Amino acid sequence: MTDREVARLRRLRAEALDVREIARTLGESRWARNEPLLERGACAGWRIARIVSGHLRAHPYVRYQRDAGFADRIRGRLLAQYLALVTKNRDGGLKEYEARLRSLARQLDDARALTWSADLSDRFGRSQGEIRSLLETVAQETHSVSAPERLPKKRPERTEGLVGELAKTFEGDWPYLAF
């Protein structure tokens, strides 16, 4: 594991702990008592932070094994308190929460794409599915699902010459053969 990967994992852990703290703090507000979306997000953030911490603690170098610091925890708590203070209703709170979840999803995508460990990549993949499902549900609740994001992308038509015309009719029938 390189210094860059350790720094990336620490940023991911900090983001996951921030999402957890924001979910817990917003969940204590008057408008969000027993909000299942916030509870799911807090659990998902905690799971990601535990995965990263376990992977870092298993490293033989002592300086890579460091946990989240006191300053990081205080920063996350202050950020969560600020967001709880600024948001006065459910819709505004869930939109702020959705923005933080999207940031966590991006960091998780980066960490999974750039990791060398197959076990860690598998765990991050499961967490990605959970975060994407949660993001989709939060987006539906806040009505921020846009049509272009939901539609599948169209493939461009191939119409060059005779081969292109024949390929249109057989496009899905050809198996992939690698030699």
Q: In angstroms, rounded to a whole number, what is the distance separating the alpha carbons of residues 10 and 64?
A: 10
Residue-wise pLDDT for 56-110, tens only, equals 876 655 555 666 667 777 887 888 888 888 887 888 888 888 889 999 999 898 8
Sole residue written with tokens 């960091």: 107
Question: Does the residue 81 lie in any domain?
Answer: yes
CATH code of the domain covering residue 118: 1.20.1260.10
Q: Is residue 170 part of a domain?
A: no
- Tell me the Ramachandran region of residue 34: left when phi exceeds 0, alpha when psi lies from -120 to 50, beta otherwise: left
**83 is in which domain, residue-wise?**
3-150
Q: What's the structural domain count of the chain?
A: 1
- The answer to the question of residue 175 being in a domain is no
Report yes or no on 176 lying in a domain.
Answer: no
What are phi and psi for residue 152, nearest 5 degrees?
A: -70, 150
- Is residue 158 in some structural domain? no
Asked whether residue 21 is assigned to any structural domain, the reply reads yes
- pTM equals 0.69
Distance between CA 97 and CA 111 in Å, rounded?
Answer: 21
Contact 142, 94 (CB under 8 A): yes
In a domain, 71, yes or no: yes
Domain assignment of residue 174, yes or no = no
Cα separation, 104 vs 106, in Å, equals 5
End-to-end CA distance of the chain: 34
pLDDT digits (tens, 9 = 90+) for 104-135: 999 898 888 888 788 888 888 889 888 999 99
41 and 19 Cβ atoms separated by less than 8 Å: yes
